Amino acid sequence: MDKLTDNEYRHALPPQLMAAAEKFDAWSKKQLLEEQGAATPIEPLYHYTGEEALVGILRHEKLWCFSHLHQSDPREFEYSLAGALDVIRQVGGSTDFWTKHFCGCLEDMLVTNGLASPFDFYLFSLSRHRDDPGQWREYGKAGQGFAVGVAPVLLQPDTDVLHAQANENLHIGRVIYGDRETNARHRLVIRKAAAITSQVARHNRKWIDMVRPVPYLAALAREVMASQLVWNCLAAKESKFSNEREVRGIVMGVRERFDPYRKMLGARAYIEVPLPLRTPGGIAEVLVGPHAPPDAEAKVKALLKSEGYADAIPVIRSSAVL
């Protein structure tokens, strides 16, 4: 994920101490790739939507990703934030000076700012459910919409190299549900970061004495917020939502890098993320909602043909009962 462009907190520290941030960053990239690898689909994922959005997606090969601040449920991330704070406080109960104060610094940042920071986060949702009544009701215009089956070939998270265009840095994450898994994911990150913070500080007391602990702790806390904690919060929900079987597309980066791409739909900020749907086999099928008009299949087939898609893409009427 992008680093802060001004990097003031990094430049204030000597290399001996910034080694902690670099060590955590290397671990974080490996960890995120492992998590994304575990979420890599082997079957199509479905994006339920309305007719206007379907036309836009197929015509422009772009998905609209809305800001985390403008999701349909404004309190959606309170659950995972609360879990993160609980874990931070538990780990911070350590008798180790650096673990205790690192967690205190991280808690302060989270309590003060929540997920607000110099970073922006944009999301879109896919489901592992094919032809699901709940998805049709909630996201498929009460069964009058459509569901695009995105093939696995387009959703392979196999690199941590960033694109120059901020809107192209898409990551795929499987949403986890419930306290046990959510807090275990938080705990893994917090313990690892605290251990690195403590180890590097204890081996570099001379440099700590020169710059004082606060800038050092703040640098590590920002690193954790930027590369791991926010990701964990964006990819977790309460267990009552587990039937959604959601997989999220998440685009994260420094806020200013999204300035050329940010658009508004009313009061909601979004970016358009390219997805090469015309790739052979990129679309597995298009489902037509059970309550869509009788001519909906014919209209979708005509749209696919006019936009240059393969003739073999199945267009199937849903059999879901709403």
pLDDT at 160: 56
What is the pLDDT averaged over residues 41-69?
A: 93
Tens-digit pLDDT profile for residues 247-267: 988 888 778 889 999 999 999
Tens-digit pLDDT profile for residues 132-169: 999 999 999 999 999 999 998 888 755 555 667 877 87
Bridge partners of 63? 273
144, 289 Cβ separation under 8 angstroms = yes
Confidence check: pLDDT of 9 > 60: no
**In this prediction, what percent of the chain has a pLDDT beyond 70?**
90
Confidence check: pLDDT of 35 > 80: no
Better-scored residue on pLDDT, 285 or 73:
285
Confidence check: pLDDT of 6 > 50: no
What is the pLDDT averaged over residues 158-186?
A: 81
Could you tell me the CA-to-CA distances from 11 to 26, 205, 215, 216, 219 in Å, in that order?
A: 19, 18, 10, 11, 10
Confidence check: pLDDT of 10 > 60: no
Distance (Å, whole) CA 224 – CA 218: 10
Distance (Å, whole) CA 119 – CA 4: 8
Confidence check: pLDDT of 29 > 90: no
Distance (Å, whole) CA 37 – CA 40: 5
Better-scored residue on pLDDT, 172 or 236:
236
Q: With bands split at pLDDT 50, 70 and 90, how would you rate the model's confidence at 303?
A: very high
**In this prediction, what percent of the chain has a pLDDT beyond 90?**
60
pLDDT at 147: 98
pLDDT at 3: 42
Q: Please tell me the pTM assigned to this model.
A: 0.82
pLDDT at 161: 59
Mean pLDDT of the chain: 88
Q: With bands split at pLDDT 50, 70 and 90, how would you rate the model's confidence at 289?
A: very high
243, 98 Cβ separation under 8 angstroms = no
pLDDT at 259: 92
Instruction: Based on DSSP, count helices (H) and strands (E) in the chain, helices before strands.
Output: 11, 12
Tens-digit pLDDT profile for residues 57-97: 999 999 999 988 887 676 778 899 999 999 999 999 999 99
